[in-house]
Each structure stands twice: as C-alpha cells, then as structure tokens.
Amino acid sequence: MSNSTTIDSRQFRAALGSFTTGVTVVTTRSVAGEDVGLTANSFNSVSLDPPMVLWSLDRRSSTAAAFMAAEHFAVHILAADQEQVSNQFAARGVDRFAGLAVERGHGDVPLIAGCSARFECRTSYRHDGGDHVIFVGEVVAFDSFGRAPLVFHGGNYGLLMKKKAQDVEDTRSSFGDEWLGFLLGRAYYQMLMPLRAEVQRQGLDDIHYRILSALSTGEGRSVTELSRLVEFSGHRVVDEHFATLAERELIVVDGEQVRFTEAGRRYAIELMAAGKSAEADAAGELDFNEARLLKLLLKRVIRATGQGLPEHWRKENIWRDNNVWGAAGGATEGSST
Amino acid sequence: MSNSTTIDSRQFRAALGSFTTGVTVVTTRSVAGEDVGLTANSFNSVSLDPPMVLWSLDRRSSTAAAFMAAEHFAVHILAADQEQVSNQFAARGVDRFAGLAVERGHGDVPLIAGCSARFECRTSYRHDGGDHVIFVGEVVAFDSFGRAPLVFHGGNYGLLMKKKAQDVEDTRSSFGDEWLGFLLGRAYYQMLMPLRAEVQRQGLDDIHYRILSALSTGEGRSVTELSRLVEFSGHRVVDEHFATLAERELIVVDGEQVRFTEAGRRYAIELMAAGKSAEADAAGELDFNEARLLKLLLKRVIRATGQGLPEHWRKENIWRDNNVWGAAGGATEGSST
C-alpha cells in the first residue's frame, strides 16, 4: 500500500485530505487597488513571539501576483454557516466579494464579516515550497468571534462536535445504556415530557396527543389513517380515544373523516409552540453546529432503517410542516430528502 | 474587540484555536540513533509537484536538535481512536514510543501504526518562522488507511461528521420534519421495527416487550415498578399484560414480585441480540466516528432534559447493562455520567 517510487498525484491529494482543517479566506489589496481573495485551507499558526501565521499559495494562482507584492494580508477563519463564502472565494470568473460587506484593515486590506476569527498580517517571509509559496505573516491585529467553525475533510465539508469533560463514552459496549435504541428512546421520551405534561393538564393522554399530532399533518384524514399513524408508535387506538377528543370539542368526527374544531386548531398551535420550546431545552448543551449535526445523524439513521415501513406509508408524503409531535411521522417518507 | 497595538499571547493562542486541525505525530531518528517524536497540529500540505508537506516546531523544543539534523522525518495523521497516542507524544518525561509497535521507514525513521495516513519525507527546507522552524519535506512515500480522523479545535479534541450529498438540512425551520422531537421519534421507532416484528411473531405486542425489557434491568422488580418504567413511554400497563406473559411462561408473578422463567430469560437474550443487530442496521450510514458522535449528542440531550424525571426514578440507578429496549430506561439517572 505504501506509495514509494513514484507519487501518484491523485492518491497523494486524497491522503492529504485525511488531515482535517478549518477553512480560511485570505484577502489582500493589489497594487492597482483591487480587492483580491481566495479560499485556502493551508493555513496554520507558526510563532507566538513574534505572533506569526502561515499559509501557502499555488505559484500559478491568478491571485499570486497580488500576494507576492502585498505588504499586508488578512486571514479569515470561516464559521460553520459560511460554506457559501468558502465556495464563492474558490470560484473562477466571479466577483468573489459580491454581496459581502467589506471593511478596511491594515494596508487597506478587505476584511469580511461573520467569520470565526480574523488575523491581519504584515508579510514577513515568502518562502520556497515547491510549486507553492509559503507566506509567513506577522499578526498585527486579530479578532475572535467565537463562532462554530467550518471544517474540511477528505474533499468535503464536515461538522464538528467539540468534546466536553462530561462527554463520557464507552465505545466497547453497545448494550445497556450505550445501546443506540436506549439512547434514542430516552432522549425522545425525555424531550416529550413537557408536552406530555401539558396534555395531561388538559386531562388527555399520550394517545390523544398523538392523534391530534397526526391530524395536524393534514385535516380530513380518516379514523383508519390516523389510527395507523399513531399505532406506529406502538399505541393501540380505539374509538373511545376519538370520542374523548370529540367530547372535548377539539375534533369533529364525521363518518370516517376527522377534522379540527376551531378550539382544536388553536390547541394544536399551542402545542407546536411547546414543542419548539422543548427543542430549545433539549438542545441546551449543543451549539448551533452540534444541533445541526444531531439532526443530520438522525436523518441518516432514518434513511438506514426506513426499508421496513409499510408500502402505503412510504409512498405518500403525508408529513407536513405543521405537525406537533414526532410519533406519527414515523410513517412517512425520507425526511427532507 | 480588535487586538492591535500589543498582542496578548493568551488571546492570540485562543484565536488560533478557532482553526480546526487534524492531529499529527511527527517522528525522526536522531544522529545518536534515538527515536524522537512529538504531537503537532501545525501540519499542512504545500506542494503537489514535487509533493511536499510542512509542519513547524518550537526552536526550544527538546526534539528540535534531532529534527534540525535529520535528513528524514515521518508525519502520522492520527485516527479518531488515537487520542491516547496524541497525549503520549505530547507528554514530558515519558518514553513516547512505549507500548507502540514501531516499523522502520526511510532513513530508519520510526513509523507507528493505526493512523489515518502517513507521509515519509526527506527534509527539503528549514525555513524561518519566528520562534518556530518551518520544516518542508518532500514526500518520498505515503500510506492512506482511510480511518476516521482525530480532530482538534479550541484546545480540545472534537469529533467530525463528514457531510454527504444526501445530507439535506433546513436550518431555518425547526417545525415538521426538522423538529428534533420528530427526528428522535422517527429514528427510534424505525430502529425498533425489527424488534417489534420479532415480538409480534411471538404473538406479543409493544407493552409486553417493554415489560420484559424493564425486567431484564433487574430481576425481582415489583409489578408497580415495572409498570411505572413502561409507562414512561406513554403506554398504560394493566394486569392483563403481566397475565399474558405468565401464561406464555416467560415470567412468574409471585404476589408483587416478577421474575423470568428460564424460557423468558433465553428470550430476553435473543431479543438483546436482535437489538444489537438493529443498531448495526441503524448505523449503516455512519462511520465509527459518526456513531460515537450520535451517541454523545444524544447523551447531551438526555442530560439537558432529565430534570423533569420523578425523584424516585432519578435517585436509584436501576438501569443495568443487560436491558434490551430503550423505553424503560427513560426513568433512570444520567446515562453513563
């Protein structure tokens, strides 16, 4: 497997991709007064005293002349939500600063906003590095904004979870409380607790709220449809459940068809707000990036496990944007794919 | 916020920490024939033709003399499960190679195993970089092992999820199928489907398997305890459920106390195996690292949402390593913290 005698450039590039990096945009102002910038992940810290950073640039780059002549440059470490900025500064034949608010830093260098950290530098060295030039800059000013980072690995963007001391794991075991099913179930039921408490205050129980939830995905569903959706969560639905909701004047059952009353619709909206608040609580120990991560990983689990769903449920996309609870949704097609 | 006139070294270091990196161990062999190595995250690619990489080293490092004299060095990009290796090569006063199988590369440089990728280099340049030296090496051989990477950010290790084209997200919305409760519930119920199917083949249903699951966390529980645990998942338990399990000779109900029969215990073990297999399926689109990530994030949700649990359940840690299903576990204390 060792690639010794001749280095295959494609394989070499792939091996380099094993090294995870942040993503930066490096900017300068050309002698002609033009703003120049590019996306680079070849950034790194070098020296603390004096404070210095480095990055390297392909000698054939269209921006090379500007940086070779520049006394100053700025390095922006991009934040997790700046994928678009990263792509824009890697694109050819476009105005890379289009749509961005530009401030001026040392040497009139263009500074862009919204990043995770920013270093303004005076060029100290331009070192040889094969087909690249290594720029070493002394940091004359810097800003740190504490935003979650954009990450690059293996030719793709990635999402990062920062480990905390409380994050205890036992990678050897997948039974007991390390079993994925346990963790999913517990997280789910705990997250639902405030919603359940709210429903119980109204004298209703889990099955009732699951019926209301299923109904809020589309009015006019039949009793049979709603029961099937709720039964996906392992609850057996009987006529009495619908009768209770009708007595409480939350729904009207018209033959097989079920619809909300005005009060029922208002109540569903209240529960939606409670669901939103439950999500905020559940994500209390997650930063913006980690919350995204969790959702993306759950969607992968949903993709990987959806094959056993009844054909009828998979085909019609009955899950709409206005549902309140997760239970009934199990019966629908691949989340937002 | 911009730190211009004087650079505070602690703040500068923190700002540099915004840049995510992989972690490498760089090794060489000293003129005296000693193996030398250190942990560094200042690695980066430089040139494709000729193939070159760089890293920088503090001039005052105990390893500086060896690297200044070395014709060859090797850079190991560490894998996600090599935190210990990273720590060992950053420690002082220890044999950093202790316990590691060492092979010999170009120039007799020590090579360590288990990493994500490895580059053997001939020193091309030792460039000035303030209080550091920038080593540029021409890559004479490399290996790529495809292992998930160890990642460093803000002074801590992190875990990385690699984005795929199928990973669609809508960060603006948290309703409907972007609501965390929906995703948790759907992932949970879908993951349970094979287990549920297995139980149904035996003529049992969800509540029965939740009772068996709760029982497998500790024999001799009372009917009341088991019912409470199961009811956390929103299911109402009645005497008939216990009666059915007793008729099927899976449990014995002795007054209030419940225990497994031999057949019941065997069945619980079968279900545990099915649970393990369901986990493997659910993690089908996750690599080792991503599976760890998902579990750690779920534990954070569990930590963030556990406050509402009944005091009685939180105090006793009834959840043991031999449970089969997630449902009942919701009633226990912080997972493995």
CA distance B190 to chain A (A): 6
Distance CA B92, CA B273 (A): 45
Percent of chain B with pLDDT over 90: 66
Q: Is the pLDDT of residue A307 over 80?
A: no
CA distance B33 to chain A (A): 24
| Facing A162 at nearest CB: one of B48, B158, B171 | B158
pLDDT band (50, 70, 90) for residue A236: confident
| Residue A296 near residue B169, CB atoms below 8 Å | yes
Q: For residue B268, what pLDDT is reported?
A: 92
Interchain CB distance below 8 Å, B176 and A119 = no
d(CA A301, CA B186): 9
pLDDT one-digit tens code per residue, B95-149: 999 999 999 999 999 999 999 999 999 999 999 999 999 999 999 999 999 898 9
Q: Indicate whether A107 pLDDT > 60.
A: yes
pLDDT at residue B2 in the model: 54
Identify the three-state secondary structure at position B29.
strand
Residue among A12, A302, A336 whose CB faces B170 most closely? A336
Q: What is the pLDDT of residue B5?
A: 55
Of the listed ranges A175-189, B51-65, B115-129, the one predicted with least confidence: A175-189
Q: Where are the beta strands (DSSP E) in chain B?
A: 21-22, 24-29, 35-40, 44-47, 52-58, 72-77, 102-104, 110-112, 117-129, 132-144, 151-153, 156-162, 251-254, 257-260
Asked if residues B157 and B83 have their Cβ atoms less than 8 Å apart, the reply is yes
Does A304 contact B285 at a Cβ distance shorter than 8 Å?
A: yes
Q: Which of A2, A179, A292 to mutate to test the interface with B (most CBs of B within 10 A)?
A: A179
Q: Distance (Å) from the C-alpha of residue B44 to the closest C-alpha of chain A?
A: 6
Contact: A308, B161; criterion CB under 8 Å: no
Interface touch A305/B129, C-beta < 8 Å: no
Would the CB atoms of A19 and B44 count as touching at under 8 Å? Answer: yes
Instruction: State yes or no: pLDDT of B259 exceeds 90.
Output: yes
B83 chain-A contacts, CB cut-off 8 A? none
CA distance B89 to chain A (A): 18
Query: Does the distance separating the beta carbons of A54 and B168 come in below 8 Å?
Result: no
> How many C-beta neighbours within 10 Å does residue A308 have?
12
CA distance A264 to chain B (A): 18
B322–A175 CB contact, under 8 Å: yes
Chain A CB contacts of B322 below 8 Å:
175-176
Could you tell me what percent of chain B has a pLDDT over 70? 88
Mean of pLDDT values over A101-113: 97
Interface contact flag, B171 A50, Cβ < 8 Å? no
pLDDT at residue A270 greater than cutoff 50? yes
* Burial annotation A187-215 (CB, 10 A radius, 16+ → b, else e): bbbbbbbbbbebbeeeebbbbbbbbbbbb
Is the complex ipTM higher than 0.90? no
pLDDT at B263 over 70: yes
Q: CB of B20 within 8 A of CB of A148?
A: no
Would the pLDDT of A1 be above 70? no
pLDDT confidence band for A309 (50 / 70 / 90):
low
Domains belonging to chain B, first-starting first, are 10-158 (2.30.110.10), 176-331 (1.10.10.10)
In a mutational test of the B interface, the residue from A46, A186, A281 whose CB has the highest number of chain B CBs within 10 Å is A186
